[in-house]
C-alpha cells in the first residue's frame, strides 16, 4: 500500500484566490494521485476573510482540513500543520500553484523510491520559468550562489515553494529548524543535508505570479540574517 500524503497550502490574506486554486488542486488530486491524501489549509493569521473561506472548504470537501495560526509565518504554519498530520509523506506548495502540479506524481514516485526530500527547482537544467522579470531572476540566482557559498550545500533552489518529504525524515530535523518565516525553506534543506538526508532536485515548469505578496527587499534581508545564523552554527 502506498504511503499517505498531506499537501499543505500556507495561506495569508488569500480570500480572492483560495477557493478557485484549492478546487483546481483538489480535482487534480482526485484524478491523478492514487493513494490516501488530504489537503491542509494552513491559515496564517490573515486579516481578511481567508479563514472563513477555508472553513467553508473544509465543510464541503472531505479530504481537507484547516489549521489556524494566530501569527503569520510560513515556517510556523508548516510546523503546526506537520505536527498535527497523520500522513506518511508531507508536501507543501504555494497557493498560486505557480509550479505546474502535473509533476506531483513524479515527486511522489521519487519519495516511494526512497528519497528523503524531493524539491522543485527553477534553476537547474530542464526547468521552464515563464513570465519572470529580469530583476527577480537575478535575485533568485544570486541568492542561490550566496547560500551555496555560505553553507556549502549541493542544492540550487531553496525558495521554490514546491517540496515533498518523508514524514520520518522531516521529524528528525524539525525541532532544529528555528525560522518561522520564509527562510524556513532554506533552513530545512540545510538541516536535511547536514543530517545526511537525501535531497532530489527536479526541474519544474514555473509561471510567475504578478500579484505575489512577497516583499522582495524584506525577504532578502531576513534571508541574509538567516544565512549568517546558520553559518555561525556551522562554525560553532
* CATH no. of 5-235: 3.90.550.10
The DSSP code for 187 is H
206-227 pLDDT, tens digit per residue, is 998 766 666 667 777 888 899 9
Calculate mean pLDDT across residues 77-95.
97
pLDDT at 214: 62
At 190, is the pLDDT very low, low, confident or very high (cuts 50, 70, 90)?
Answer: very high
119-160 pLDDT, tens digit per residue, is 999 999 999 999 988 888 888 899 999 999 989 999 999 999
At 37, is the pLDDT very low, low, confident or very high (cuts 50, 70, 90)?
Answer: very high
Calculate mean pLDDT across residues 160-173.
97
Calculate mean pLDDT across residues 21-29.
98
Q: Which helix (H) or strand (E) holds 81?
A: helix 74-83
Higher pLDDT, 75 or 224: 75
Q: Which three cell numbers stand for residue 81?
A: 500543520
b/e sequence 42-74, b meaning 16+ C-beta within 10 Å = bbbbbeeebbebbeebeeeeeebbbbbbeebbb
Q: Which residue has the cell 513524479?
A: 106
pLDDT tops 90 at residue 43: yes
pLDDT at 219: 78
pLDDT at 175: 96
Lowest mean pLDDT among 10-14, 47-51, 138-142, 157-161: 138-142
Q: Which three cell numbers stand for residue 180?
A: 518561522
Calculate mean pLDDT across residues 87-108.
97
pLDDT at 68: 94
For residues 162 and 101, is the Cβ–Cβ distance under 8 A? no
Q: Which three cell numbers stand for residue 208?
A: 510567475
At 233, is the pLDDT very low, low, confident or very high (cuts 50, 70, 90)?
Answer: confident
- pLDDT, mean over the chain: 93
Domain boundaries along the sequence of the chain: 5-235
pLDDT at 234: 77
Question: Pairing relation of β-strands 199-203 and 117-121?
Answer: parallel
Calculate mean pLDDT across residues 181-198.
96
Calculate mean pLDDT across residues 27-56.
96
At 236, is the pLDDT very low, low, confident or very high (cuts 50, 70, 90)?
Answer: low
Residue 145 has a CB neighbour count (10 Å cut-off) of 11
Amino acid at each position: 500500500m502506498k504511503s499517505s500524503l498531506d499537501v499543505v497550502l500556507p495561506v495569508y490574506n488569500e480570500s480572492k484566490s483560495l477557493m478557485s486554486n484549492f478546487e483546481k488542486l483538489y480535482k487534480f488530486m482526485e484524478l491523478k494521485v492514487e493513494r490516501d491524501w488530504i489537503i491542509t489549509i494552513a491559515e496564517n493569521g490573515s486579516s481578511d476573510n481567508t479563514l472563513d473561506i477555508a472553513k467553508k472548504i473544509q465543510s464541503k470537501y472531505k479530504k481537507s482540513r484547516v489549521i489556524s495560526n494566530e501569527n503569520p509565518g510560513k515556517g510556523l504554519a508548516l510546523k503546526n500543520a506537520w505536527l498535527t498530520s497523520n500522513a506518511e509523506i508531507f508536501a507543501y506548495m504555494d497557493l498560486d500553484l505557480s509550479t505546474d502540479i502535473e509533476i506531483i506524481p513524479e515527486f511522489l514516485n521519487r519519495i516511494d523510491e526512497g528519497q528523503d526530500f524531493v524539491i522543485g527547482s527553477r534553476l537547474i537544467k530542464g526547468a521552464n520559468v515563464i513570465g519572470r522579470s529580469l530583476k527577480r531572476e537575478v535575485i533568485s540566482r544570486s541568492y542561490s550562489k550566496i547560500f551555496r557559498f555560505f553553507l556549502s550545500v549541493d542544492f540550487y533552489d531553496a525558495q521554490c515553494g514546491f517540496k515533498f518529504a518523508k514524514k520520518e525524515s522531516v521529524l528528525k530535523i524539525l525541532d532544529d529548524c528555528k525560522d518561522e518565516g520564509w527562510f524556513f525553506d532554506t533552513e530545512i534543506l540545510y538541516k536535511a543535508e547536514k543530517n545526511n538526508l537525501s535531497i532530489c532536485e527536479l526541474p519544474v515548469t514555473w509561471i510567475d505570479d504578478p500579484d505575489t505578496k512577497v516583499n522582495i527587499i524584506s525577504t532578502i534581508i531576513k534571508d541574509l540574517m538567516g544565512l549568517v545564523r546558520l553559518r555561525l552554527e556551522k562554525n560553532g
